[in-house]
């Protein structure tokens, strides 16, 4: 096997190993970035929901209770923070069906907010781990991967208990609409439910794949340019001069006239080799001349 073939084999093997290692590292980094981007997007969605909650609780609910209703026994769902957040997302769903927002509770007032089997596990986790403030995980839905981010719903405001303690203290219209059991018997400091928002992983993953593809193409192109350049340099500055020097050396060793001068050498090491061969050629010629001279005298 020739020198260039051996070099290409070794260099190609090193590149392939490095390519696989770098590819694995970059894949992990890009997938991590995709997940982080999805988390940031989900948190923005949740912040919008929390903003609707806060606005409704601080400005809308007092207005309904004090200025419009005149009585706390009158129930208006528009004054409920959860209602406002869910209504806002219904408008968002009209254009962005891939984004979902839910508020689930173990004992919700609106039965539409009953948790599914896997959502029950989330509620159970928050109840068993009251210090937990957030959960992030991925889950497939309709054949597509989604990232879910959840926060517990904890009763921290006593105002909430006016409607959720028992049927006697809750507004009569509320009890009439939802019944005396649903959404009752909540306690201060208790985790009663969870906010859940899901965002698709397809877009950030597509960006990650495109970034990986660009990186891989760039590495392959760089490798190809390096391989061609190095092959050219080895062939021009090493293989060709060595081949020519080898032919000349073989002719000298056989006592033949070299017939051609040594090639022009640019490498310091190769110059030393050429100089050594010239000295050997000169020495051999002198030795042969002496031998011929002695033969004539005899």
Q: Which residue has the tokens 């596990």?
A: 121
Closest CA to 199 of 80, 49, 84: 49
Cβ atoms < 10 Å from Cβ of 33? 14
**What is the mean predicted confidence (pLDDT) over 71-79?**
65
User: What is the DSSP code (8-state) at residue 158?
Assistant: G
- pLDDT of 75 above 70: no
| Cα 50 to Cα 47: distance, rounded to the nearest angstrom | 5
- Tell me how far apart the alpha carbons of residues 25 and 29 are, in angstroms, rounded to a whole number: 6
The pLDDT, as a whole number, for residue 1 is 63
Tokens of 54: 């806060």
pLDDT of the residue at 167: 76
What does the pLDDT read at residue 233?
A: 81
Report how far residue 187's alpha carbon sits from residue 115's, in angstroms, rounded to the nearest whole number.
19
Q: What is the pTM of this model?
A: 0.62
Query: Quick check: 123 pLDDT over 80?
Result: yes
Statement: residue 18 has pLDDT above 80: yes
**Distances, alpha carbon 68 to alpha carbons 62, 88, 150, 162, in Å:** 9, 22, 35, 18
Query: Which pair of structure tokens corresponds to residue 151?
Result: 């926060």
The SS3 of residue 196 is strand
DSSP state of 78: G
Confidence at 11, pLDDT banded by 50, 70, 90: confident
Domains and CATH numbers, the chain: 14-209 (3.30.450), 210-295 (no CATH)
Check whether 89 has a pLDDT greater than 80: no
**Any idea which of 24-28, 161-165, 167-171, 263-267 has the lowest mean pLDDT?**
263-267
- Comparing 248 with 211, which gets the higher pLDDT? 211
The larger pLDDT score, comparing residue 146 to residue 67, is at: 146
Quick one: pLDDT at residue 257? 58
**Residue 259 confidence class, pLDDT cut points 50, 70, 90:** very low
The residues facing 103 across adjacent strands are: 195
pLDDT reported for residue 59? 80
Q: Which residue has the higher pLDDT, 110 or 29?
A: 29
Quote the pLDDT of residue 294: 61
- 91-119 residue pLDDT tens: 776 676 678 888 888 888 888 888 888 88
Between 143 and 128, the more confident residue is 128
| Rounded average pLDDT over 57-83 | 67
Quote the pLDDT of residue 70. 45
Q: What is the pLDDT of residue 72?
A: 52
Between CA 107 and CA 191 the distance in angstroms is 11
Question: pLDDT-based confidence at 132, cuts 50/70/90?
Answer: confident
Across the chain, mean pLDDT equals 79
Over residues 141-154, mean pLDDT: 86
Looking at the chain, how many residues does it have?
Answer: 298
Taking residue 197's Cβ as centre, other Cβ atoms within 10 Å add up to 25
Note the pLDDT of residue 68: 45
């Amino acid at each position: 096997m020739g020198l260039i073939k051996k070099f290409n084999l070794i260099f190609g093997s090193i590149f392939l190993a490095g390519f696989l290692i770098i590819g694995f590292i970059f894949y992990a980094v890009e997938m991590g970035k995709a997940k982080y981007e999805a988390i940031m997007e989900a948190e923005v969605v949740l912040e919008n929901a929390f903003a609707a909650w806060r606005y409704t609780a601080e400005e809308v609910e007092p207005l309904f209770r004090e200025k419009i209703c005149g009585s706390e026994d009158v129930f208006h769902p528009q004054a409920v923070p959860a209602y406002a957040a869910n209504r806002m997302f219904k408008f968002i769903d009209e254009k962005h069906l891939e984004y979902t927002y839910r508020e689930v509770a173990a004992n919700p007032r609106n039965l539409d907010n009953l948790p599914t089997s896997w959502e029950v596990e989330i509620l159970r986790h928050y109840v068993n781990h009251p210090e937990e403030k957030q959960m992030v995980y991925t889950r497939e839905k309709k054949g597509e991967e989604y990232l879910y981010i959840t926060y517990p719903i904890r009763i921290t405001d006593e105002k909430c208990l006016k409607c959720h303690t028992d049927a006697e203290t809750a507004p009569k219209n509320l009890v009439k609409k939802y019944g005396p059991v649903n959404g009752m018997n909540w306690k201060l400091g208790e985790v009663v439910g969870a906010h859940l928002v899901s965002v698709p992983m397809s877009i950030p993953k597509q960006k990650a794949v495109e970034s990986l593809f660009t990186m891989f193409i760039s590495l392959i192109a760089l490798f190809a340019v390096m391989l061609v350049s190095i092959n050219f340099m080895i062939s021009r500055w090493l293989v060709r001069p060595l081949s020519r020097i080898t032919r000349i050396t073989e002719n000298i060793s056989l006592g033949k006239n070299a017939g051609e001068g040594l090639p022009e050498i640019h490498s310091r090491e190769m110059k030393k080799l050429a100089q050594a061969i010239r000295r050997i050629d000169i020495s051999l010629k002198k030795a042969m001349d002496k031998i011929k001279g002695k033969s004539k005298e005899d």
